[in-house]
Structure 1
Amino acid sequence: DEYLTMKAAESGVFRKKAVKAHGILTVTGSGLIRKGSLFATEGGIRFVSVADAAIVSAGNIEVKAVDAGTLGNVPARTITKIPFSIPGISGVTNEAAMQDGYDEEEDEALRDRHLEHVRYPGASGNKRHYIEWATSVPGIGAASCIRAWNGANTVKVIVSDANYTTVSESLIKKVYERIAEQNPINAIVTVVSATIKTINIEARVRGQPNADDFKQAVQKYFREIARAGLGKDSYVSIAKIGALLLQSGAAQDYDSLTLNGAAVNISLTTEELPALGRVVLHG
């Protein structure tokens, strides 16, 4: 939506661009890997080395995806191809998943940030200011701020990523650096990732259980909680989960519904985000 992009920019809120995934590759052999050397997955997702590296027998190199977006967040041990041979280098793999690839900010997220800025503008280093600075960083989906959390002139900023889950150390560093550029009161700032509370769901259902549609509906509900609730005392509603069982077509009726083994709402602290764990639907 170009009009939304323009209107948000007029108020100083800019659509966040897509971000390239990055990570570490382990290469075997002995040779010189030049900056820009290509590596790829079996499916053709490409990565390039970010610096020259001399490898003797084996070694690690840092790479980033050629294309920005979540497509670059490939699982561990999937980058195994060297499209153009490198003298002396015989193999490659990634021992850990690539991380921090994010798509361009969607309209809904940009609209939310724009409206928050217009209704509750950040000023003079107030809480809203820290939240605005944190959420302006590509890859960050939500943030909250606690003033004087560890004494006078201290500020704690809690962040989740654009998928409303935990944040990598490299992304936390980017948030800290963005705040440090702007911080008008020279507060002592700590930036931390939100933590995950796993929610396991079990119920006895009538009809043919359709767990996939139900899981998607629950995950959407959890994202809504994360967007609205980070920094607030919130909870996962067992009544809402029951309603989603019926609305998603997962069951015609149900009983014995539990969340984490009990028929109760699940409370979330100001730093917790819900994540779906096991779903067991007994037919």
Structure 2
Amino acid sequence: MYEEQTFDAIMQRMLERIPDTLDKRESSPVYMALAPAAVELASLYVGFDCMLAETFGDTASREYLIRLCADRGITPKTATYAVLELETDVEVPVGTRFTGGDHFYKVTASGQVTCEQPGAAGNEYLGDVIPVEYVMGLTTAKLTRVLIYGEDDEDTEVLRLRYQESFNERAFAGNAKDYHDKTLGIAGVGAVKVIRAWNGPGTVKLVILDSVFGKATDVLIQTVQKEFDPNKDGHGDGLAPIGHAVTVDTASEVTVNIAATITYDNGYDLNTCKTQIETAIEEYFAGLRKNWENQSKLVVRIASIDAAIMGVKGVVDVTGTTLNGGGNVELTEYEIPVLGVVTYG
């Protein structure tokens, strides 16, 4: 806004106020007297510009955006710890520490460990782990899957979007917005649909996805259930208001098998393109799942899959694509697609 208020522009205005009968050249006493003031004024205008940007949510830097969010009762989400399934050949006491990959893990429940490093990095390693201290009778220990995904600190632009959305709809006393925001505030939850009066008055169902927009594990479902209504009785023992009997569930997975005939460019064939093709299809499916919360239902479209395949280097044409032996696959409101078998013609 104040980009034009440079040293030269300010000096020009100041010198115009000095009579022409006086020497106003750069080496003159008049010029030398005004120059320091012009430098300070130019600096002030730069400061005004920065201050104006930090005043509004769409331009504020992270530090000041956090302060603006605080006025709306919004705090940035901090990094969370990944919870993983641990398979061992003997029962391992709670508190036992393991190491695997680049991380350390601590047993927090039977068959479960929590990564000691917060963030998404805790999701990356699956495989054999070694106890930090000797465990009697233990010969094998392995991390087999992620139960609750760890998340990094909330991205600035995601926080900014939450701030802007807070003006559109107000979360209050168990309304849909309140359930939505509180559910997404639980570590490991990436999306939620709130179903009101799903089983009669006073009942609420929360259908959730995990933080990578996949089907939630039983552990995550139980965690969210405990937070809202541990006994599903509406007695107000959790976040849900008294009289709201809350049930937590997750979306159902629908496997989509794909068949397509693909023509390759010179120097390319199925062996060189297969991994990239299936990665492109997976990314399309991931995009659908990520948008699940905002859609009444998802549709897996042949045209979109063809476009994803055509975007792979070395592919020149794709024809005859079918999904589960037919056309587009239309899902219900509480279903998400997962990629099955890809058959190449």
Per the normalisation by structure 1, the TM-score is: 0.79
Residues 68-147 of structure 1 aligned to structure 2 (within 5 Å): 68-73=118-123, 78-86=127-135, 88-94=136-142, 96-107=144-155, 109-147=158-196
Determine the structure 2 residue equivalent to 1:170: 219
Check 1:255–1:9 CA distance in 2 against 1; reply closer, same or farther (3 A cut).
Answer: farther
Check 1:75–1:138 CA distance in 2 against 1; reply closer, same or farther (3 A cut).
Answer: same
Query: Size of the alignment, in residue pairs?
Result: 267
Q: Which structure has the larger Rg over C-alpha atoms?
A: 2
Residues 179-198 of structure 1 aligned to structure 2 (within 5 Å): 179-180=228-229, 181-184=238-241, 186-198=243-255
Secondary structure of 1:99's counterpart equals: strand
Segments of 5+ residues of structure 2 without an aligned counterpart are 1-60, 230-237
User: What is the CA–CA distance in structure 2 between the aligned matches of 1:260 and 1:14, rounded to whole Å?
Assistant: 44
User: What is the CA–CA distance in structure 2 between the aligned matches of 1:61 and 1:156, rounded to whole Å?
Assistant: 28
Bigger share in helix: 2
Secondary structure of 1:221's counterpart equals: helix
Check 1:25–1:213 CA distance in 2 against 1; reply closer, same or farther (3 A cut).
Answer: closer
Q: Which has the higher contact order (CA 8 A, sep 6+)?
A: 1
Check 1:226–1:116 CA distance in 2 against 1; reply closer, same or farther (3 A cut).
Answer: farther
Tell me which of 104, 115, 130 is aligned to 1:46: 104
Determine the structure 2 residue equivalent to 1:237: 301
Secondary structure of 1:202's counterpart equals: strand
Contact 1:211 1:281 in 2 (8 A): no
Bigger share in strand: 1
User: What is the CA–CA distance in structure 2 between the aligned matches of 1:279 and 1:203, rounded to whole Å?
Assistant: 8
Q: For residues 19-52 of structure 1, give each alpha carbon's deviation from its aligned partner in whole angstroms, at most 9, with x where no partner exists.
A: 23243442549xxx775432233x354222348x
In structure 1, what residue type is equivalent to 2:72? S
Per the normalisation by structure 2, the TM-score is: 0.67
Q: Percent identity?
A: 26
Structure 2 residue 311 is the aligned partner of structure 1 residue 252: no
Check 1:36–1:95 CA distance in 2 against 1; reply closer, same or farther (3 A cut).
Answer: closer
Contact 1:80 1:91 in 2 (8 A): no
User: What is the CA–CA distance in structure 2 between the aligned matches of 1:12 and 1:185, rounded to whole Å?
Assistant: 23
Contact 2:151 2:187 in 1 (8 A): no
Contact 2:255 2:338 in 1 (8 A): yes
Secondary structure of 1:119's counterpart equals: coil
Structure 2 residue 81 is the aligned partner of structure 1 residue 19: yes
Tell me which of 331, 334, 337 is aligned to 1:271: 334
